[in-house]
Structure 1
């Protein structure tokens, strides 16, 4: 395990060093210490600490500022440490989500010495667990000035392609009521589980929207994710709950998404249990266009929710851009092509320099 991070080294070597420091959510302190010490000792940046988050920034008086953000934590280790390099592929817990992106950020912090934008680097904690523990929320409350910028780049894995904005997500419970009775005299009761059939039929017939925003195609979704109910093996149940997850395009506000779901399940008791707004792609902003040009590819919609939504809510365009296939995140087989790490670093250096 590394006791020093060499930020100016090959970002692939830096990725391996980060992977080899376990940092499961809630246990990021050692890695945060290493990152803080490296940024303080190897860069001219202003550095501060918030819990197990480390923040660093330039103060060069540039007319614009870019914030680059990445989380230090990983999901629990699954017999996939230490890292190993085989045939140009780096394997290990967090290699994809998202220590490859963190390594790119750290490397840029040490090597882009004359950026044309002022830069803020945010390495935060507890992204992989419940939202109330997410370090960005604490930073927004305690150090809000550190999150102000003209563009946010969240270096989550995106296969080296710019993923613009993100979908919103909402979970609801559709509740049905009945009347209890002994199953031997079932006709005297009303079965609440049977009543779930109609909401399920509506879901089966549902045709989700596909929405083009700034050339990015967002595919909405509506899926049953849980069914609950039942009292005993000989009792007609008097209550049942269907949990539904809605992924909605960022042209809908949370209020509009909720209204849509109430229309879909009209006549039923609907309760919103969880919600996170989406983020518009913001590709019309000139500074975002410069990043797209540097990347040299066609941006795509982010079909999921990421912390870009937190930055978009602060009034700036935000994108996902980092090495690694997001489909491998959280799997035992996490791995990232080393060339993709280097390519992402080169693209961002070109954009920032």
Structure 2
């Protein structure tokens, strides 16, 4: 049996990030990294450590008046395959910029969690550190969801911070997301005698026109402006090059503001596409910012930058479902996540660590 890879949690946090990137942890392949994280955390006597699958929870038990959760996922999206890609494994330095898969999403954030876990033996708030698997795949596989089912008591807290990349700015809440399939039905015929059939692909044109002409809303929720988007993301139809298609399906993704429930979002799409058959295939509620919670307000003040909305869906929504106000705050530019050139400046990781250290040590 191979011993877990040894992680030095006391090294410079940027170098720790590089060490994490060097451990391939594409979704479904997190075990080696989870072993390394668990092994490192179990050497810290001030933490209680529990493992569930490839998810690890480490907690202080100091009896503080407030408990904060710091959460991050261990997995990454698949490695790039294009020649010359720099966002791969192992990591590479270009001056003070670190390249590699997960540099922004989100091994920089995980490194910050680990550094804090090792350093803060007596923080001013009790802290729960959550490291989980399967974030980058379908929700049913989520390690955080599994922890919520198997160990809900371990996820109890007053406030949660998800260390997703935000360029060092607090991003409150997140948009919800829903997927729909909208179908059209035609009648098959030989394309040489097209008048004998009904072209289902042509019938889908009206769906696309309505989506093209749709004006996405910007919705203010608890002082933050969330931009919505509603788009066709895939279209399927046709059977052969000489057959008039008798069926077409347009797949739609709706990113909706956190003032709406998935049911509200579905009704909105159905009204827009009235006259067509609309089937909701997937949905996840968003999360309100929760910035009016005292702990959140205190954290925003400590960071010192104007908070922004999170447009994409993140696991702050899971914490919101648990009744825990949550924000996103982590190193790196989210626009670089999942790209072939994924990278993060070393100072961005150090600055994130310093901000959280100041706040938690208070």
Q: Normalising to structure 1: TM-score of the pair?
A: 0.97
Q: In the alignment, what sits opposite 2:51? A: 49
How many Å separate the matches in 2 of 1:6 and 1:180? Answer: 65
Q: In the alignment, what sits opposite 1:20? A: 22
Q: In the alignment, what sits opposite 1:188? A: 196
Q: In the alignment, what sits opposite 1:352? A: 360
Question: Which structure 2 residues correspond to residues 109-188 of structure 1 after superposition, within 5 A?
Answer: 109-188=117-196
Q: In the alignment, what sits opposite 1:290? A: 298
RMSD across aligned C-alpha pairs, in angstroms? 1.5
Q: Pick closer, same or farther for the CA change 1:233–1:85 going to 2, 3 Å.
A: closer
Please give the secondary structure, in 1, of the residue aligned with 2:291. Answer: coil
1:333 and 2:341 equivalent?
yes
1:269 and 2:277 equivalent?
yes
Q: In the alignment, what sits opposite 1:93? A: 101
How many Å separate the matches in 2 of 1:184 and 1:12? Answer: 65
1:60 and 2:62 equivalent?
yes
**Per-residue Cα deviation, 1:57-105 (whole angstroms, up to 9, x for no partner):** 0111112211111111112233622222222111112111111000000
How many Å separate the matches in 2 of 1:183 and 1:93? Answer: 48
Unaligned runs of 5+ in 1: none
Q: Pick closer, same or farther for the CA change 1:85–1:42 going to 2, 3 Å.
A: farther
Please give the secondary structure, in 2, of the residue aligned with 1:42. Answer: coil
**Per-residue Cα deviation, 1:107-164 (whole angstroms, up to 9, x for no partner):** 1111112222211001111111222111011111111111111111110111111111
Q: CA deviation at 1:53?
A: 1.1
Instruction: Give the conservation status (yes or no) of the 8 Å contact 1:225–1:244.
Output: yes
Q: In the alignment, what sits opposite 1:314? A: 322
Equivalent residue for 1:211, pick from 209, 219, 224: 219
How many Å separate the matches in 1 of 2:118 and 2:234? Answer: 47
How many Å separate the matches in 1 of 2:318 and 2:169? Answer: 20
Q: CA deviation at 1:214?
A: 2.6
Equivalent residue for 1:104, pick from 93, 112, 120: 112
Unaligned runs of 5+ in 2: none
Instruction: Give the conservation status (yes or no) of the 8 Å contact 1:164–1:320.
Output: yes
Q: How many residues align?
A: 353
Q: In the alignment, what sits opposite 2:243? A: 235
Q: In the alignment, what sits opposite 1:6? A: 8
Q: CA deviation at 1:2?
A: 8.9
Deviates more, 1:236-245 or 1:264-273: 236-245
Question: Which structure 2 residues correspond to residues 234-253 of structure 1 after superposition, within 5 A?
Answer: 234-253=242-261
Q: Pick closer, same or farther for the CA change 1:19–1:2 going to 2, 3 Å.
A: farther
How many Å separate the matches in 1 of 2:342 and 2:190? Answer: 52
How many Å separate the matches in 2 of 1:277 and 1:332? Answer: 29
How many Å separate the matches in 2 of 1:93 and 1:243? Answer: 29
Question: Which structure 2 residues correspond to residues 61-80 of structure 1 after superposition, within 5 A?
Answer: 61-78=63-80, 80=88
Q: CA deviation at 1:232?
A: 2.3
1:32 and 2:34 equivalent?
yes
Q: CA deviation at 1:190?
A: 1.5
Q: Normalising to structure 2: TM-score of the pair?
A: 0.94
